[in-house]
Amino acid sequence: MAKKAIITGFIASLLFVSLIAYSLPAFAQGPDLTPAKPEIISVSGITPKKDMIVHILVLVQPGADRNEAAVAALAQQGARPFTSDEFSTIALYWDQFGDNDPGNDKVIQNYNPKNDPTNGAGFTALTNTHTSWNNVTTSSFTFEYGEDTRRCPSLVKECRGDQTFDGNNDVAWLKLNSPTTLAVTWSGTLIDEADIALNTDFNWETDGTNDFDVETVFLHENGHALGLGHSIDFSAVMFPSYQEVNRVLQQDDIYGVSFLYPATNNPEPDPELDPEPTPGVSSVQQIVYVLAGGKNNDKHLLVTIHVVADESDLSGVDVSISLSSDSSRKGWSGSGTTEGDGTVTFQLKNARSLCYTTIVNSVSSDPSWDGAQPQDDGYCKP
Ligand SMILES: [Zn+2]
């Protein structure tokens, strides 16, 4: 669904029409019952000391037993399987997203390009998956690229020395011990850190034609790195088995990351501050601010206006707003039409780090607007 809104500068700036499109590709192919080619499965386990989780992508040859392959791959990493109950209580959760300080809401990930078999395309594939996870507008989760590093990811068993938490979330190419293991993601259960290694023994590709597609694997592994387990939805990126290139998050993945890290700029309306809706008139129920776009998903400011009447969403309503900031003499205005959910979203492109407030100028609806400015605490862009 595309939301159309026009916002134009009325003092000194010129802004643009925005289209926010949510695309859900039609890919939904289940695994074959009798695979004619090797199958890639993903298995998860914990270390005996229970403070580390490992997710492993394992290649299973046709006719081979999946469970045996899974248990063997885990044993090779010094881990054992866990139950889904166990996972929900020990899985990684990045605490900075739950501390009500939006300024620290990011996970910095570094990349070691050594041994990259794709002539550097691995870096692009990795940062593409950052964009994919960051662009979930209903979630505040954010990956940020840190630096090129020469470190061996400290949680990965194949690195020299003991597995240790070094405070860095590193991604590297390594020759992994098991010839059937494509990739591993290690994370802490008590300490927030996630490290990833891809096995250089495989014939990795980035042109989308090969099962060993770098971006497909990074997208799945980064789902684990942010704290997701496996999904039972076979179209999901986080489904534990796949045989095809899949570089696009599916609805189930979006639900998952949004459940773990809901959008912090999306507060529930305070019922004490919201006036009782008056029958026979429309009102603006809520103004919501969300950041979106760009490398860190914080480039543009989105302002969503929700129009209701008698507790029902009002679609097709023309809404005009003005946006102002306390420390800038600039102001912006725009008009747009509400969608079926009663909302219209305005985009302020390349919004500066200012505090913004919204004034609703007009709402052309039937029944007519009550004219009341809704509760608006404004929003300060970090
Ligand atoms: Zn997995």
pLDDT at 134 over 50: yes
- What secondary structure does DSSP assign to 317-346, as a single string? -EEEEEEEETT-S-EEEEEEE--TTSEEEE
Ligand 1 mean position to 185 CA, how many Å? 8
Domain boundary among 226, 260, 294: 260
* Burial (Cβ within 10 Å: 0-12, 13-18, ≥19) of residue 376: middle
What residue has token string 């014939």? 203
Same domain, 194 and 100: yes
Residue numbers of the domain that contains 239:
31-260
The answer to whether position 24 is within a domain reads: no
What pLDDT sits at residue 21? Answer: 22
User: How far away, in angstroms, is 292 Cα from ligand 1 center?
Assistant: 27
* CA distance from start to end of the chain: 29
Give the pLDDT mean for 313-321. Answer: 90
The domain boundary, picked from 205, 228, 260, lies at 260
What is the Cα–Cα distance from 134 to 345, expressed in whole angstroms?
19
Q: What is the mean pLDDT of the chain?
A: 82
Rounded to the nearest angstrom, the distance between the alpha carbon of 219 and the centre of ligand 1 is: 10
Q: Which residue, 225, 260, 295, sits at the end of a domain?
A: 260
CA of 181 to the centre of ligand 1 (A): 12
- pTM comes to 0.61
Q: Please check the confidence at residue 1 and state whether its pLDDT lies above 80.
A: no
Instruction: Pick from 113-117, 290-294, 304-308 the range whose average pLDDT is largest.
Output: 113-117
81 with 167, same domain: the answer is yes
d(CA 9, CA 259) in angstroms, rounded, equals 36
Tell me whether residue 274 is in a domain: no
Measured in Å, residue 184 CA sits from the centre of ligand 1 at: 9
Q: What is the pLDDT of residue 226?
A: 97
Tens of pLDDT, residues 195-231: 999 999 999 988 887 668 999 999 999 999 999 998 8
In this prediction, residue 78 carries a pLDDT of 92
Q: Could you tell me what percent of the chain has a pLDDT over 70? A: 84
pLDDT tops 80 at residue 144: yes
pLDDT of the residue at 296: 78
Distance CA 156, CA 141 (A): 24
CA of 238 to the centre of ligand 1 (A): 6
- Within a domain: 225: yes
pLDDT of residue 329: 58
User: Residue 155: what pLDDT?
Assistant: 97
Question: Ligand 1 mean position to 348 CA, how many Å?
Answer: 37
- One DSSP character per residue, 218-261 reads HHHHHHHHTT----S-TTSTTSSEE-S---S--HHHHHHHHHHS
37 & 98 share domain: yes
Rounded to the nearest whole angstrom, what is the distance from the C-alpha of residue 344 to the centroid of ligand 1? 37
Claim to verify: residue 224 and residue 293 sit in the same structural domain: no
Whether 88 and 209 map to the same domain: the answer is yes
Kindly give the distance from the C-alpha atom of residue 55 to the centroid of ligand 1, in angstroms, as a whole number: 6
Phi and psi, residue 292, nearest 5°: -160, 160
346 and 209 co-located in one domain: no
Q: What is the CATH number of the domain that holds 342?
A: 2.60.40
Q: What tens digit of pLDDT does each residue of 54-113 get?
A: 999 999 988 889 899 999 999 999 999 887 677 777 788 999 998 888 889 999 999 999
Q: Is 75 found in the same domain as 157?
A: yes
Residue 26 lies in a domain: no
Rg over alpha carbons for the chain, rounded to the nearest Å, is: 24
The side-by-side arrangement of strands in the sheet containing 331-337 is: 18-20, 3-9, 331-337, 318-325, 355-364, 379-380
382 CB neighbour count, 10 Å cutoff: 10
324 with 352, same domain: the answer is yes
Closest by CA to 258, choosing from 107, 98, 139, 137, is 139
Domain match, 295 and 255 both? no
Together in a domain, 254 and 166? yes
Tokens standing for residue 300: 């543009």
Lowest mean pLDDT, pick from 22-36, 48-62, 251-265, 330-344: 22-36
8 pLDDT band, cuts 50/70/90, is very low
Tell me the C-alpha distance between 1 and 295, whole Å: 23
**Overall average pLDDT of the 113-117 stretch:** 95
Q: Are residues 41 and 148 in the same domain?
A: yes
Q: What is the mean pLDDT of residues 322-346?
A: 80
Q: Give CA–CA dist 319/333, Å, rounded.
A: 11
For residue 223, the CA-to-ligand 1 centroid distance in Å is 8
User: CA-to-CA distance for 74 and 79, rounded, in angstroms?
Assistant: 5
- On whether residue 16 sits in a domain, the answer given is no
Q: How far is the CA of 124 from the centre of ligand 1 (A)?
A: 21
Is the pLDDT at 29 greater than 80? The verdict is no
pLDDT at 287 over 60: yes
- Do 234 and 305 sit in the same domain of this protein? no
pLDDT at 276: 58
What is the CA(41)–ligand 1 centre distance, in A?
8
Residue 304 lies in a domain: yes
Tally the domains of the chain. Answer: 2
Report if residue 316 sits inside a domain: yes
Q: Is the pLDDT of residue 169 over 70?
A: yes
Q: Backbone dihedral region of 33: left (phi > 0), alpha (psi from -120 to 50 degrees) or beta?
A: alpha
Ligand 1: distance of its center to the CA of 291 in Å? 29
> Which CATH number is 252's domain given?
3.40.390.10
Give the integer Cα–Cα distance in Å for 327 and 252.
41
Question: Cβ neighbours of residue 83 under 8 Å, at least 6 residues apart?
Answer: none
Q: Is residue 18 part of a domain?
A: no
